[in-house]
Amino acid sequence: MDKPHITQAMIDAYDEYTHLTLDRRRFMERLTALAGSGAAAAAIAPLLAAGSASAETVASDDARLLAKEVIYGGGSGEMKGYLVRPKEMAAPLGGVIVIHENRGLNAHIRDVARRMALEGFIALAPDFLSPAGGTPDDEDKAREMIGKLDAAATVADAQASLQFLAGLDGANGKVGAVGFCWGGGLVNRFATKSPELKAGVAYYGAQPPAEDVPGIKAAMLLHYAGLDARINAGIDAYRTALEANGKTFEIHMYDGVNHAFNNDTSAARYDKAAADLAWRRTVDFLKTNLA
């Protein structure tokens, strides 16, 4: 059977559904119209979504790593997370908070945390849905729950995550954060509120209000997808505010790729060349700022 043809309009429809409307029925109606039939739409939908089957690129029992579930105090309650560190540590390491997309703490983000640990960091992937009972298996439910979170409360939970990570045995006390999609937006907001954050990496994340930018103390690395019109609309104002306030930052635009280009579980949106380049830049940036 030939692989279904996926158009940019289909990808845009999926982005609108997962980030704005959360209306699956309307999305499927639109996808059916674009694909030409219900059967074609049913075949295309899983390719637009992220699949858990391909989420593990670093085995959960990789012998080079020590990984465990952790519970720690959040901003106003209990936080759960996934903590990974290299098994062999010759010296204290910098910490990296890995912040999930609007689907919550899932297998893909756990895998990203393991990848980060293999790069020489202590990685913590918090479940920011912990106050609401934790990330559910149903991704649509997770998106609905994410949409109900209080923005200030999530920043407080991020700060609590930073303090937990900085205080671990084997940590050097310097903490950065990397976030994707919803998590990228949280990295941007968190950076405006936390003087302790040393480095922030936002993948296609919503920008913070310009009036909050003076509060940023961290060095910032901002990755954007060329075809991501929804998020990219805020770049110019963010850049202007960062420049006006003398902040340390880098902006990289990856032309011809979509929002979520880093997520290798999404067949339609993942772009290996852009993802590999952004990852290398991310690791180098974190090593520079967390040493």
How does pLDDT run across 217-228, given as a tens digit for each residue?
999 999 999 999
Q: In the prediction, which pLDDT does 169 show?
A: 96
Distance separating alpha carbons of residues 256 and 65, to the nearest angstrom: 35
Q: In the prediction, which pLDDT does 1 show?
A: 45
Nearest to 202 by CA among 169, 224, 235: 224
| DSSP-derived 3-state class of residue 226 | coil
Q: In the prediction, which pLDDT does 32 show?
A: 87
Q: In the prediction, which pLDDT does 36 show?
A: 85
Q: Give the full edge-to-edge strand order of the sheet including 93-99.
A: 65-73, 78-86, 122-127, 93-99, 171-180, 199-203, 219-225, 249-254
* Block mean pLDDT (10 aa), the chain, length 291: 76 83 84 86 80 74 97 94 96 98 95 97 98 93 94 97 97 98 98 98 98 98 96 98 98 96 88 97 98 94
Distance separating alpha carbons of residues 37 and 99, to the nearest angstrom: 37
Q: In the prediction, which pLDDT does 222 show?
A: 98
Vertex 202: Cα angle to 120 and 110 (nearest 5)? 50
Residue-range domain boundaries for the chain: 8-48, 53-290
How confident is the model over 86-123, as pLDDT tens digits? 999 999 999 999 999 999 999 999 999 999 999 999 99
Q: In the prediction, which pLDDT does 261 show?
A: 95
- State the pTM of this model: 0.91
CA-to-CA separations, 249 to 154, 207, 223, 238, 244, in angstroms, rounded: 23, 13, 11, 11, 12
3-class secondary structure per residue, 82-144: EEEEECCCCCCEEEEEEECCCCCCCHHHHHHHHHHHHCCCEEEEEECCHHHCCCCCCHHHHHH
Gyration radius (Cα) of the chain, Å: 19
The fold adopted by the segment(s) 53-290 is Rossmann fold (3.40.50)
